[in-house]
Structure formats: structure tokens, C-alpha cells
Amino acid sequence: MFRWRDLSDVPPGFGPSVVTLGNFDGVHRGHQQVVSQLVSSARERGWASVVVTFDPHPAQVHRPGSHPGLIMGTEDKLDALEATGTDAVLVLEYTLGFAEQTTEEFVLGALVGPLGARCLVVGSDTRLGRGNSGNIDTLRELGERHGFEVRVVEDLLDPLDGEHPEHAPAGERRCSSTWIRACLQAGDVRAAARLLGRNHRVRGEVVHGAARGRELGYPTANLSPDAAGFVPADGIYAGWLVDVQGTRWPTAISVGSNPTFENVPRQVEAHVIDRPEERVEDFDLYGQDVAVEFVERLRGMVAYEGVDKLVAQMDDDVARTRELLAAEA
């Protein structure tokens, strides 16, 4: 898959193509449905398929400091889009100046011109252009004037198959990034995974911590505070750590400030379980960029009276993690 970071990266004369556009935060099952139709439409015609997305997220530009947390970082988003089979992704820098373009200026300057777009595949709620003034009708009018087709993909509704969607905001029935954030805020990583179509993950550099875990017999890989991805609710989780070689290690994960100890900042700590004894001494993750995947929340955070009770609980957490992940394999 081609990964273009600017319009200037697009080869001259590229196209014809089928294009979709959006933020795609999470690249969840609803997004995947849109991109799947993009790819199939392009293959039917023998054209290229292109996803256009934005960095930073528009909410970060228009509402700095009050924007919702992003489900995933840009690199993970590109990896997830590549897994859909699209031919290329164009990442456009989003600025206040960029947002002042009219719908026609954006469509002609970014899609029809450089990408040779002959067909746009979009979700039913697509809005674009200055003040989000453009919609599906606007795109169809532009398509008639400038020679491109518009195909609309309807929302993916209630993919959890529940009578009442789990953790969904009031009135929300479609697969959405908002719904996934609500699941993660509640610690329901199982529901988030069903909406995403894969385990939710956080990615970051492994940094040195206070080494309390090592002293207790449970060394942890501590993610940097600026790790990319939405950190779920405080608690203990079963999951996986994926190292730079792509090896997935069964892992017990702690999210929170560890109330048993004082003055501990909120952090993500991952304890890899059952490492081969012959490799333990070489298992140095410091400085590596790793991904931590969340499979299931085991419990919330609890303050224990004394280290012995804490260690006993950690023993139980690791045993439950081992059992749960064995069933997942």
C-alpha cells in the first residue's frame, strides 16, 4: 500500500481512482464496510482505491484541549487501513486554513485533480468543506459537473446484536468511534473489540518506572505517558504485548495509579507472563516501541493493606490471565 503524507507525494498522472475520505479513527467495522465497498468498486473497474484521511484529527484543531481522545495513533490507523486491501492512503495535514476551503475547492484540489477520482464512496453522514457545509447532495451536484460518481454506504447498525447497545450514547445505534470511546471509558474492552473487529491497542515506548513490579516478582514494561491510543478505564486486564519483531506475548496489564502506593502517576504497565526461562535475561524492552492489546478487564483498581495481599492478588490476576488467553488461542 502506498502511504502518501502530502499531495506532492502522489505520482503525476495518477488515476483513475475510487476514493473515500474521513477521519477513520479506530478503523472500526463501520469504516471497514465503507472501505470494503471502495476496494470492490475499484477492482470492478480496474482502477486504484484510495483512502484520504487527516492528521491531526479535525477536533484537535477546532477544539484543542477539549477534543475527545483518539482511539488510535496515525501509524496504527495506517496499518489498519492497509489490512483492508486498499491500494493507497493519502494523509492530509489538517489546519484552520485547510478547513476554510469550500467543498468544491477541496474536491477538485485534493481528489479529482491529484488522484484522478472518478468515483467517491462515502458514508451517509459525510460532511465536508467550510463549516461542514457540504453533504451528499453537494457531492452529487459536483459529480455531475466534474465527471465523478458518488456511491453512498449506509451505516452499520448495532453490530453487537444487542437489544440495547452496550455503553452506546443515548440514541446511538450505529457502529461509531463515539460508541467505542464509551466502551473504553467503561473498561469494556470486549465490546470495543467487537465494534473494532479486533482487540483495542495502545502503542508507545517502554520507559523506566519505579521498579516496584520487579521488586515484587512481577517486572513490567511501562509505556511512556505520551503513548498513542485511548487508554481504557483503570483496572487490571488480560491481553497481549506485541514487540518490535511482531512477537505477541501473553500479558497481564495494569492501568491506573496503583492506589496501594502513594504518588504514583496514571500509567499502563504490562507484565509478560510465562517467558521462556532461557530468554528472561535477554528480555529487555526498554526503548522499544511496543503495542499493548486489551482482551478483557479482570477487575477494577483496589488499594490493598500491605504488600503481601497485593502480591497474592497479582498471583491470581496472572493465573486468570493465563487461563483466559489460553482459551483465546
Grid coordinates 464509551 are at which residue?
182
Residue pair 269/253 in contact by the 8 Å Cβ criterion: yes
Separation of first and last alpha carbons in the chain: 29
The catalytic site residues sit at 269
CA dist 66 and 136 (Å) reads: 28
Alpha helices in the chain (DSSP H): 29-45, 58-62, 74-82, 103-106, 113-115, 136-146, 177-185, 189-196, 212-215, 307-328
DSSP label of 288: -
Residue pair 207/223 in contact by the 8 Å Cβ criterion: yes
The alpha carbon of 147 is separated from its chain's Cα centroid by a whole number of angstroms, namely: 34
- What contacts 75, CB < 8 A, 6 or more positions away? 203, 228
CA dist 118 and 144 (Å) reads: 11
Residue pair 33/176 in contact by the 8 Å Cβ criterion: no
Angle between helical axes of 177-185 and 189-196 (0-180°, round to 10) = 160
Q: Is 135 exposed, middle or buried (0-12, 13-18, 19+ CB in 10 A)?
A: middle
CA dist 123 and 247 (Å) reads: 36
Q: Is 89 exposed, middle or buried (0-12, 13-18, 19+ CB in 10 A)?
A: buried
Residue pair 218/170 in contact by the 8 Å Cβ criterion: no
Alpha helices in 102-256 (DSSP H): 103-106, 113-115, 136-146, 177-185, 189-196, 212-215
